[in-house]
Amino acid sequence: MGRFEIKAKDGMARLGRYKTEHGTVKTPLLMPVVHPGKSDISPTELVEVFGFQMIITNSYIIKSQEKFRDIALSNGVHGLLDFDGPIMTDSGTFQMYFHDLPKEEIDPLEIIRFQRSIGTDIGTILDAFSKPGVGMAKVEEDVQLSLERAQASISEKGEMLLAGTVQGGVFPELRERSAIAMAKLNFDVYPIGGVVPLMERYRYPDIVRAVLASKKHLPLDKPIHLFGCGHPMLFAQAALLGCDFFDSASYAKFAYSGRMMLPTGTVHLENLAELPCECPVCSSTSVDELNGLKKEEKDLDLMRHNLYVSAGEIRRVRQAILDGKLMELAAVRARGHPMLYQAFQVMLDSSDQLMQSDPIGNATSILYTGSETSRLPVFQRFHKQVLGTYPYRKTKILILIPDLASNPFSDVLPELTRLVRSQNPVDTVVAFVTPIGIIPWELEHVFPSQQGIFPSTLDPVTLSNTIARAVDFLQIIDAERVIWTSRNTPTNSIFEDIVDAFHIEHVDGVGKAIEEMQKYDSDSIEWTKRKLKAVFSFQWGITGDRLFDSNSFNVMLSRKTGKIRHVKDGDEILFTLVPTTGLLTPTYEGGKRLLAEGISDRFIVMVDDDSAEYVRKGKSALAKFILKASTELLAGEEVLIVDKESRLLGTGRALLTGPEMLQFSRGVAITPRHSMQ
């Protein structure tokens, strides 16, 4: 039975719901570690006061101490902890590493049976923890031992959910090998283990590499747990990498040593003159008052502060996923430590992996946070899509206009807009040179063309990326003349870097560019058709020619903005252009036209007979009823939903990627737009 479903996505992050026997929790999820014998803050208080949903405790500690073991065996782990919410238990792997215990200390099968017998919601296998600094050969042995234990443990789980931990140390190839083997065993949760020593040594780039390598091969429909990730400054980046569960004992460990956790790092109480946050603890006391408390009382207040901050950050992460702003939050948090910022760069080096999961067609602004912004996957994907789909590649004159793209081009350059609307692309192509790359005039409103908000002074990395993307675009355009329009804008500076390679002419100001455009007697075409052909090509890889050739084809413009609003055939609306994304949504009749145009199977999703009737009536297409979906389908794309006989049932927006649709057995796969009935 499927227990995990996705409600929203951002990057590889999943805003989801996970069902356990003691309740359904929202992900990303942070579980405070609760020691069965040191309940300074009770599990009930963790939920009711701080807002946590689930806790984690250690089955090895419970089993090894009679006073805990007897109660747990009699009343269950929920009775032991006096808590009726979801509980996950660890197996003792970290204790064996930390205390250097012999292998015989914990029997891997007995600890599974014990977790099952005390009624834990999610148990964990006893994996082999690799010590930092050991060679690849030893880590390989640990990976193999973990796999052998996992294979033996899976049959002992019974009705208990079981977590199978991926190991591999700092070696990505071993992480991949471990993930491939563990994925075949069909665990319910997949922790990525062995990272606590890396966190303690600020080796965040190694953690990113370990997660990326593991995620490549783990099931899409199972939560990923980053074991021991307890510091709030890492939550956003870890979630962006696709981690769904976190656990934290840091709130207590840091408190015992007089440290206060913040989303931006850690501070020592002894170094403070003012308390640095707005939580109930910091708002109701002072540094002097805290320092004047007895050790036990001070530790408890610091624990509470750390819990408030951690709980607040995980909620902030979930909201950022919903808003499509998690990348921005992660970039800001990365400034908390140089190695965390380096880890962020490592993540961006794997943008291709992120782009496979990141939904398209967002509508949110993308604020500049630093030199990394121009490298974001959303801009890289747009650039590649323009290169692969732009239809007007042969022209007499290409006009390049440097611009910051902070305002709609049609608003700031109305005279240019009027002229290009009257011209044929075989005569004139206009493209804007922006910090995100080249934006052809026809795609000026397509996300993220004008959602990137950059400063008026650009850093060298952004300018370098602008040059590279300009070169890429110029290489696909066959133009008799290329004219650069000099303007007082940051991207104007790249002219000297590309002028010689492409024999670019130079004019001073948009007025001069307009004069050059007017020298060509152009056979005009309807500007709406020109734009729509580019959007159809960008969005679905088709020209739309059959549609445009219809005698009854017409376009309705917005009275307020003058932009394209609807594409019609007679009185029948076929497509609506969404003003916030610049992309088209097809009606049912529009979906039929897309099929007639020969739209790629990438955009066609097949459902089974049990679902067909519901989709036909305008209901959501659920993941468990999906029969076919392209491995290339991205979340956010507009798709056609068909039955087993390839008859069109409706149109909708994909909430999941194609591979996710085929793996998940719970939740919505496609939200409906229009249906047959």
Which among 255, 188, 196, 178 has a CA at the least distance from the CA of 223?
Answer: 188
pLDDT (0 to 100) of residue 1: 56
Q: For 179, phi and psi rounded to 5 degrees?
A: -65, -40
Q: Which amino acid is at 549?
A: D
Task: Give pLDDT, residue 132.
Answer: 83
Contact 190, 245 (CB under 8 A): no
Instruction: Check whether 621 has a pLDDT greater than 80.
Output: yes
Per residue in 87-103, pLDDT tens? Answer: 999 999 888 887 788 88
Mean pLDDT in residue range 403-422: 91
Buried b (16+ CB within 10 A) or exposed e, 555-584: beeeeeeebbbbbbbeeebbbbbbeebbbb
Mark out the alpha helices in 154-286 (DSSP H runs): 172-183, 196-200, 204-215, 232-240, 250-256, 280-284
Which residue, among 313, 251, 247, 296, has the nearest Cα to 88 in the 3D structure?
247
DSSP 569-630: ETTEEEEEE-TTT--EEE-HHHHHHHHHTT--GGGEEEE-HHHHHHHHTTPPEEGGGEEE--
> What is the arithmetic mean of pLDDT over 109-126?
98
- 550-556's contacts with Cβ under 8 Å and 24+ in sequence apart are 555/526, 555/528, 555/529
- pLDDT attached to residue 102: 83
pLDDT of residue 522: 66
Looking at the chain, the whole-number percentage of residues with pLDDT higher than 70 is 99
The pLDDT score that the predictor gives to residue 383 is 97
Give the integer Cα–Cα distance in Å for 299 and 256.
6
What residues pair up with 577 in beta bridges, in sequence order? Answer: 584
For residue range 133-168, what is the model confidence (pLDDT) as tens digits? 899 999 999 999 999 999 999 999 999 999 999 999
**Model pLDDT, residue 568:** 94
Q: Return the residue matching tokens 């590279």.
A: 468
Write down the pLDDT at residue 443.
97
Model pLDDT, residue 95: 86
Give the separation between CA 7 and CA 245, rounded to whole angstroms: 16
Q: State phi, psi for 676 to the nearest 5 degrees.
A: -60, -40
pLDDT score recorded for residue 39: 76
What pLDDT is stored for residue 672 in this prediction? Answer: 96
Across 62-79, average pLDDT: 96
The Cα 135–Cα 619 span in angstroms is 55
4-254 and 366-517 agree in CATH topology: no
Does the active-site annotation cover 349?
no
The band of 411, judged by pLDDT with boundaries at 50, 70 and 90, is: confident
Do the Cβ atoms of 591 and 616 come closer than 8 Å?
no
Could you tell me the CA-to-CA distances from 122 to 22, 199, 227 in Å, in that order? 10, 24, 14
3-state class percentages of the chain: helix first, strand second, coil last, to nearest 5: 45, 20, 35
pLDDT digits (tens, 9 = 90+) for 240-269: 999 999 998 999 999 999 999 999 999 999
CATH class of 366-517: alpha beta
Prior bond of 672 cis (ω within 30°): no
Q: Is the pLDDT of residue 115 over 90?
A: yes
Residue among 70, 84, 90, 121 flagged as catalytic: 90
- The pLDDT score that the predictor gives to residue 342 is 98
Predicted local confidence at residue 382, as pLDDT: 96
Single-letter residue type at 300: L
Check pLDDT > 60 for residue 55: yes
- Residue 85: pLDDT band by 50, 70, 90 thresholds? very high
* Distance spanning both ends of the chain, measured CA to CA: 31
What are 416-469's pLDDT values in tens digits?
999 999 999 999 999 999 999 999 999 999 999 989 999 999 999 999 999 999
Apex 159 CA angle, 153 and 163, nearest 5? 45
* Tens digits of residue pLDDT in 347-381: 999 999 999 999 998 888 999 999 999 999 999 99
Question: How much is the pLDDT for 362?
Answer: 81
Q: Token pair of 540, please? A: 């679905």
**Which of the following CATH numbers is that of domain 543-675: 3.40.50.10800, 3.40.50.620, 2.30.130.10, 3.30.70.330?**
2.30.130.10
Cβ atoms of residues 300 and 285 within 8 Å: no
Decide if pLDDT at 548 tops 90.
no
Question: For residue 622, what are the CA distances in angstroms to 89, 639, 654, 660?
Answer: 32, 14, 11, 11
pLDDT single digits (tens) 500-536: 999 999 999 999 999 999 988 767 678 999 999 999 9
Q: Would you place residue 543 in the very low, low, confident or very high pLDDT band (cuts 50, 70, 90)? A: confident
What's the pLDDT tens digit per position in 169-208?
999 999 999 999 999 999 999 999 999 999 999 999 999 9
pLDDT attached to residue 615: 96
The CATH homologous superfamily to which domain 4-254 belongs is Queuine tRNA-ribosyltransferase-like (3.20.20.105)
> How much is the pLDDT for 322?
96
How far is it, in rounded angstroms, from Cα 567 to Cα 564? 8
Buried b (16+ CB within 10 A) or exposed e, 246-274: bbbbbbbebbeebbbbbbeebbebeeeee
State the average pLDDT over residues 224-247.
97
Task: Examine the pLDDT at 496 and tell me if it is beyond 70.
Answer: yes
Q: Is 323 exposed, middle or buried (0-12, 13-18, 19+ CB in 10 A)?
A: middle
Residues with Cβ < 8 Å from 25, sequence gap 6 or more? 17, 18, 53, 54, 86
Q: The whole model's pTM is what?
A: 0.95
- Tell me the domain boundaries of the chain: 4-254, 366-517, 543-675
DSSP 8-state symbol, 345: H
pLDDT on residue 479:
97
